[in-house]
Structure 1
Amino acid sequence: MLLTALLIFGSFQKGRADCDVPSVTTVSGNQVPSGKICSGDLIFEDNFDELNLKKWQHEVTLGGGGPMRLEKIFLYHGTLSLIGGIPVDQCTNPQWYGCERTGKPDSVLNPIKSARIRTVDSFSFKYGRVDVRAKLPGGDWLWPAIWLLPRYNQYSGWPASGEIDIMESRGNKELKNGDGQNIGTQQVGSTLHFGPNYNYNRYEYAHFEKNNASGYDTNFHTYGMQWNPDNISFYVDDEVIGTDTGLENPWQRNTKMAPFDQEFYIILNLAVGGVNYFPDNADNPGGKPWLNGSPKASTDFWMGRDQWLPTWHLGTDDSHLQVDYVKIWAL
């Protein structure tokens, strides 16, 4: 199903003083259009001719659900690259085994550098169409994502206030589930996370996947969503892969799409490893060096680098998440 109707927009001007069709889209931040927002307006755009730090905030953290550290980005010929790499000071002390201090199993240093940028301080919006043209990385245990989080957590902490994953994928070229389906570079997924608490995340009711035998790491593709007041559609290269028209939510005072009726901001990131995204029971050449439930997941991951590091083809851009542009239009 092609998004023919969704592609028909009006003027692509930024906010103006008056228009025939006011938009239901709302925006906040210091990088938003001035004047009234009209239907079809281009309200956010970055072609990455430079890294505009007024638009993007570079997040450095030891978080992220597992063994990753977020730092490395660069621009090349109008493309943003988010990179996974090895810290130069990693494991130089013989009293450290990968990332865990001897005798202190709860003292863990994430062993990998990666990257995350976001618009949390500069741009958030409610309702619109998002297009992100990107080439995904190839390399075992790489985890690229294009996603959104709520600016103000109107419905309390995660996942109660929601999360919108436009695209997630895995960098393993030959990772397969029990049915023999490739769940690595040949598969992308789109997901809505929501629910009253961490143990009641209802994402399985709003999760969609699309496979491509050529692999999403071999070429650029467009990942996006159409976010309306009464539904959210995800697509790859203008083909809808799933639509959600209403959620099981306890916030009856608000819309049926709650918590997805508040402003969200954009995140682009490449993570590595983690303890909740790569299944322990999936089949991968060379195996999986760590278990998600292990108290030494970071150490086990690092000690298994002879398995995964050669698949990154360091010195090339194979393991980079490369983003050509981000564009958002008002409804």
Structure 2
Amino acid sequence: MDNEQSYSSQGYYGRPHAGMPSAASTAVHTPQRPGSPNDSIGRNPFGDGVESQASQRTGNGNPFQSPAGSRPPSSFESSSAMGPRYEPQRYFHSRRVRKGEVEKPWLDKVDPKEKWVTILPIIGIIVGLGISGFLVWDGIRSVVKHNYCEVLVDDFSQGLRSDIWSAEIQVGGFGNGEFQRTTELNGPNVFVENGNLKIKATLEDDARILKNYKIDLLKDKTCTATDQASCIVATNTTAGNSTIVPPVLSGRITTKKSANIKYGRVEVRAKLPEGDWLWPAIWMMPRDSKYGPWPQSGEIDIMESRGNNYTHPQGGNNIASSALHWGPNPANDAFWRTNVKRQALHTTYSSDFHTYGLEWSQKYLFTYIDSRLLQVLYVNFDSPMWDRGNFPQVDANNSFVRNPWDGGKFNTPFDQPFYLILNVAVGGTNGWFEDHANGKPWLNGSPKAKKDFWEKRDQWFPTWKQPQMEVEKVSIWQQCDGDEDL
């Protein structure tokens, strides 16, 4: 069979026609011209007559060339002068996709059940939003809304008014072993400047510390306390004694004579001091101490801080804390159960003014900074304070521990009128400043703590970049909705 017959038997695309022998069964040897590319490429170099699979498939030695049978007749060269027909390079020919051969799944009929894959999640989202909205609405509806009556608003535009503020003038350290002597209104430590109240700590005169010197506030009739230890102090360094007068002056003022509230709101907008061992506070004490001495009648600390920087282990002026003090005696003060700290975000409380607030009712008490949403301490009076304290039956001296609030309300002792206190203390031996922390120059249990503190003034005094608490405004409201026990 000649080459023409061999090609036509393959059909147009190289597929054998029915009844015709296949290309594989027809052994056709096409003579090659000497020097032809097909003379050696694809042939078996061992001369055993076995051609490579690629050579058998393509008819030449190029393994990447398409089979000759897949090319149309027009793609072959023909020349009578050349004698036998040779198979030239094949080129790719595309085939048109016939209509209906391409699948279009998006046109297929969708199973009715598949729509629920979309509907059910949407229903779940709608139901979830509805439940969330109801819970928010119910929470807001259930909160008791109180009406507040203004008791005191002072922006110090009229100076430091003595009919509103009273100074506590003492030398005894107020039970905390503090190192300052508090002074009178409108003096070098408590004054109004540029429209703001300033409570500033200053150093005592060296001469009153280096020699034997006595401060007698009872004789001067300026002491606001009645006990001698709070009104009289002297320097005595003879014969190994180490007692000195308070080495620092500062201030402590209150609204005890002008504004006492039982349930209400308090806001103080203030900038805190900066300096080691300064102790600013905005807090409240009971007017009458109905349930007994501290802490039986309670204490509300809206804000306490330290003038030290952030490296202080207990927190410096980057930390503000709120607490309630309550218990049957000082040894069983349960403040640690109601004590929360809040850290300033990327700043300090001595860098700018902040609003320190309190909201207080029979049902709850909470403190906040700048916004009522930014709460610091929250106490829900849902059980008696005695039960919450889990106090021991006997104290360290084997004395019976009595419940001072027996028969009271759940929020007793925080059910009596309290007044506001603003002050800047310095140092102290009650533990507010931890021993051996940040180079603390005194020990809480040392009898010469004040002297040790004063002798290291070259270390701490240079840190007093801002030794005052500055107050822009004080606002106090009383709950006045007709039933203060709601």
TM range (shorter): 0.7 to 0.9
- The separation in 2 between residues aligned to 1:53 and 1:109, in whole angstroms, is 28
Q: Residue 337 of structure 2 corresponds to which residue in structure 1?
A: 205
CA contact (8 A) 2:242 2:451 kept: no
Partner of 2:168: 59
**Aligned: 1:195 with 2:195:** no
Q: Which secondary structure state, in structure 1, belongs to the residue aligned with residue 385 of structure 2?
A: coil
> How far apart, in 1, do the equivalents of 2:278 and 2:357 lie?
21
Q: Kindly indicate whether the alpha-carbon contact (under 8 Å) linking 1:99 and 1:111 is maintained by their aligned counterparts in 2.
A: no
Instruction: Tell me if the contact between 2:273 and 2:307 (Cα under 8 Å) persists in the aligned partners.
Output: yes
Distance in 1 of aligned mates of 2:377 and 2:427: 27
Q: Which residue of 2 aligns with 1:138?
A: 274
Closer, same or farther in 2 for the Cα pair 1:311/1:255, shift >3 Å? same
Out of 235, 251, 256, the residue aligned to residue 368 of structure 2 is 235
Structure 1's 165 and 100: CA in aligned 2 closer, same or farther, altered over 3 A? farther
Partner of 2:396: none
Secondary structure of the structure 2 residue equivalent to 1:307: helix
State the alpha-carbon separation in 2 of the partners of residues 191 and 245 from structure 1.
14
Verify the 8 A CA contact 1:83 1:321 in the aligned structure 2.
yes
Q: Structure 2 CA distance, aligned partners of 1:305 and 1:281? A: 17
SS in 2 for 1:299: helix
Alignment partner of 1:183 out of 291, 307, 315:
315
The 2-side partners of 1:327 and 1:303 are apart by 40
Which of 1 and 2 has greater Rg?
2
1:299 equivalent among 451, 454, 459: 451
Native 8 Å contact 2:209 2:247 kept in 1: no
**Superposed CA RMSD:** 2.2
Q: Displacement of 1:275 after TM fit?
A: 0.9
The reply to whether residue 257 of structure 1 matches residue 411 of structure 2 is: yes
Q: Does 1:214 align with 2:347?
A: yes
**How many correspondences in the alignment?**
286
Contact residue 259 and residue 419 of structure 2 kept, 8 A: yes
User: How much does 1:194 deviate?
Assistant: 0.6
1:156 aligns with 2:292: yes
Unpaired runs of 5+ residues, structure 2, are 1-139, 184-188, 214-233, 387-402, 480-486
2:429 to 252, 257, 275: 275
1:304 Cα deviation after fit: 0.9
Q: Mind listing any 5+ residue stretches in structure 1 that lack a counterpart?
A: 11-22, 24-38
Report the alpha carbon displacement of residue 89 of structure 1 after superposing the two structures with TM: 5.2
After superposition, the Cα gap between the structure-2 partners of 1:69 and 1:95, relative to the gap in structure 1 and judged at 3 Å, is closer
Q: Give the C-alpha shift of residue 106 in structure 1.
A: 7.0
> Is 103-112 or 141-150 further displaced after alignment?
103-112
The 1:254/1:281 distance shift into structure 2, 3 A limit, reads same
What does residue 173 of structure 1 align with?
A: 309
Distance in 1 (alpha carbons) for counterparts of 2:325 and 2:369: 19
- Residues in 1 aligned to 2:453 and 2:255: alpha-carbon distance in whole angstroms: 31
Cα displacement (A) at 1:107: 3.9
TM-aligned CA deviation for residue 102 of structure 1: 2.5
Q: Which residue of 1 aligns with 2:201?
A: 84
Higher strand proportion, which one? 1
Checking the alignment, whether the CA contact within 8 Å between 1:105 and 1:295 is kept in structure 2 is no
Aligned counterpart, 1:36: none
Residue aligning to 2:390: none
1: CA distance, partners of 2:257 / 2:149: 21
Q: CA deviation at 1:175?
A: 3.7
The letter of the residue matching 1:304 is: K
Q: CA deviation at 1:319?
A: 1.5
Once the 2 structures are TM-superposed, how far is the Cα of residue 40 of structure 1 from its aligned partner?
Answer: 2.4
Partner residue in 2 for 1:308:
460
Deviations 1:253-312 (A, max 9, x none): 111111100001111000101112111143x2xx11101111111001101101110111
Rounded Cα–Cα distance in structure 1 between residues aligned with 2:335 and 2:436? 20
Q: Compute the displacement of 1:68 (Å).
A: 1.4
Q: Check 1:319–1:107 CA distance in 2 against 1; reply closer, same or farther (3 A cut).
A: closer
* Match among 27, 42, 64 for residue 150 of structure 2: 42
Mapped to 2, the partners of 1:271 and 1:195 lie a distance apart of 24
- Preserved contact between residue 99 and residue 302 of structure 1 (Cα < 8 Å): no
Following TM superposition, by how much is the alpha carbon of 1:110 offset from its aligned partner in structure 2, in angstroms?
1.3
Flag the structure with higher helix content: 2
| TM-score normalised over the length of structure 1 | 0.81
TM-score (norm 2): 0.56
2:168 corresponds to which letter in structure 1? Answer: E
Q: Secondary structure at the match of 1:279?
A: coil
Query: Are 2:253 and 2:421, in contact at CA under 8 Å, matched by a contact in 1?
Result: yes
- Alpha-carbon distance, 1:185 to partner: 0.6
Bigger Cα displacement from structure 2, 86-95 vs 75-84: 86-95
Partners in 2 of 1:139 and 1:204 — Cα distance? 26
